[in-house]
Amino acid sequence: MKRYDIVKLIKQNEMCVEKNIAIGEEGFIFDVEETGDMIVFFHETLTHTPFGDDYKHDIVRVQPQNLQIVKPFEFDDTDMYEGKVRPMQEYDIVELTKDRAEYLAAGVKRGDRGWVNLGKRNGFRLVMFDGETQNIDGIDVTTENPVGILEEDLIVVKQNIPNTLAYLKSRHPKK
């Protein structure tokens, strides 16, 4: 089992019981700890409303023997685009390649990295850069600095993972 594999819970532990994660629920491996334990992100639709769905999200530490692989993670973007350059997508990690006055005024400069949020609009992408670091209750938290950047001024440094949440949502379609 590896990171981003889709898994199903086959045996509960104390943490699963505490967070109401039932046997048979699916999630994806968010991280693998040095001990070999899996950090699993479980995602389930609770209710459907006219304003959108309500989901339950839980992150749980589970031993690998308590999980079964449903769908292994396979990064395969090149086949999807038949050898063509893959278009920039939401959650891609991007780097700013050009300084412009409006970017500098917004607090970002060439070489800064962020992640793409939302789609393209009028040639611009909304990119979430790191903002200020604040200490909240003894924990350092970095705010996000959203800046509209021309797509031509960005390069993709790291592609997003396949949309695992979309896969999980498809397993619980609207009624």
Q: Which of 151, 158, 94 has its CA nearest to residue 128?
A: 94
Q: Judge contact between 30 and 39, C-beta under 8 A.
A: yes
- Output the pLDDT for position 77: 42
Give tens-digit pLDDT for 27-75.
Answer: 888 788 888 899 888 866 555 555 554 555 678 899 999 999 988 876 5
> Is pLDDT above 60 for 76?
no
Distance, in Å, from the CA atom of 84 to the CA atom of 163, rounded to the nearest integer, reads 20
> Is pLDDT above 80 for 143?
no
Q: Which of 42, 45, 85, 88 has its CA nearest to residue 67?
A: 42
Its pTM stands at 0.45
E strands, 122-153, in order: 124-136, 139-150
**Confidence band for 12, pLDDT divided at 50, 70 and 90:** very high
